[in-house]
Structure 1
Amino acid sequence: MGITVVKREGKSFKDKLFLPAIFSGMKTTLKHFRTNLKDNDNLRTRHYPEVQPDDLNERYRGVHRLTKHEDQTEKCVACYMCATACPADCIFIEAEERFDGVDEKRPKEFKIDLLECVFCGYCVEACPCDAIRMDTGIFSFTGGTREEFVLDKKALMANERSKDLNDG
């Protein structure tokens, strides 16, 4: 019939309780705890959030931002490429016609739901006019309601490139 019987190891009562494995794991945990308690200067997040990480490089993907032209209008042409490339489907764009002669259209509404976003960067790669970037250096954000995590066009254009990432 194609059935394979696998012999079960550990027939004793002590082996069935997994006590040796549990004590071995606890021994390792307590060893690390004792080491960290003695020398806590090597802990990376000991003072978080008062002291923010200082090792962000140029490839770090933080919160999104929309880039602007010199006249402070958005570079986005509402082509929907970012929304199409997004695997989390967290980008919503509503287009409108543009009458200033810069582009044919622009986003009337542009929203990104940060709770849905997986920060993969596909939207940045898909954008043909370099209108969306993830170089703000903002990696920690909090809010009291779900609506606070949905960034609209105004909030995305207010985000600036991180000064720390400019140095890299």
Structure 2
Amino acid sequence: MPLERKPLTLAERTYLPQILGGLWVTIRHLVRKKQTLEYPEQRPAIPPGYRGVPTLVRDPNGREKCVSCQLCEFVCPPKAIRITPGEIPADAPTAHVEKAPKAFEIDMLRCIYCGLCQEVCPEEAIFLQNQFSMSGYTRAEMVNDKARLYELGGTLPDDHFKWDQKKGRRAGGNGGH
């Protein structure tokens, strides 16, 4: 049994409505405000809560906040963090802290910027900064060592007075122990 087809109208045969519809979309987008930026001359506004590159920070006195507890290393889903704990010399000003990292590396090619390392850190030593333009020519350049992580991170205030036992006791704490 043959099927009967409905004859095409003039508009359907010439594709005129489809052509006019496509032109209308093009003209509408032509008069809109430009959404692109001329990067790197113009930088985008970073929204609050943006998770950029993870870095290490120092306290206001320039001391390392990291005590090499290795929680960030264990919680990292892609295993991008590698910490080698080291002992602190007895004559150091931070000798009451058990240990400090001898080596601390974050492989930026493996990092998924999830923020779990920042959440789990008990000493608030690792933060995700607003930097997003991290590039290099080799894979080795994308593995940030301890010195580079501190250079990127800078200094943040120490709200819980971990290092100063007198201020910690006055603030109701036990000096960070």
Which of 16, 31, 41 is the equivalent residue of 1:39?
Answer: 31
Q: Which has the larger radius of gyration?
A: 2
AA aligned opposite 1:72: G
Specify whether residues 63 and 46 from structure 1 end up closer, same or farther in structure 2 by C-alpha distance, changes over 3 A only.
same
Is 1:78 the counterpart of 2:74? The answer is: no
Specify whether residues 33 and 95 from structure 1 end up closer, same or farther in structure 2 by C-alpha distance, changes over 3 A only.
farther
Which of 64, 68, 74 is the equivalent residue of 2:58?
Answer: 68
Where 1:155 maps in the other structure, the secondary structure is helix
Is 1:54 the counterpart of 2:45? The answer is: yes
RMSD value, Cα:
2.4
Specify whether residues 41 and 86 from structure 1 end up closer, same or farther in structure 2 by C-alpha distance, changes over 3 A only.
same
Aligned twin of 2:125: 131
Specify whether residues 49 and 95 from structure 1 end up closer, same or farther in structure 2 by C-alpha distance, changes over 3 A only.
same
Distance 1:40 1:91 in 2: 45
User: Offset at 1:32?
Assistant: 5.8
Which of 101, 105, 117 is the equivalent residue of 1:107?
Answer: 101
Is 1:145 the counterpart of 2:138? The answer is: yes
Distance 1:39 1:122 in 2: 43
Distance 1:88 1:29 in 2: 45
Gaps of 5+ in 2: 1-19, 155-177
- Preserved CA contact (<8 Å) 2:67 2:100: yes
Specify whether residues 86 and 40 from structure 1 end up closer, same or farther in structure 2 by C-alpha distance, changes over 3 A only.
same
Distance 1:28 1:159 in 2: 51
- Preserved CA contact (<8 Å) 1:56 1:137: no
- Preserved CA contact (<8 Å) 2:107 2:144: yes
Where 1:141 maps in the other structure, the secondary structure is coil
Where 1:71 maps in the other structure, the secondary structure is coil
TM normalised by structure 2 equals 0.66
**Aligned residue pairs: how many?**
131
Specify whether residues 28 and 107 from structure 1 end up closer, same or farther in structure 2 by C-alpha distance, changes over 3 A only.
farther
Where 1:53 maps in the other structure, the secondary structure is coil
User: Offset at 1:73?
Assistant: 2.2
Distance 1:153 1:119 in 2: 18
Percent pairwise identity: 37
TM normalised by structure 1 equals 0.69
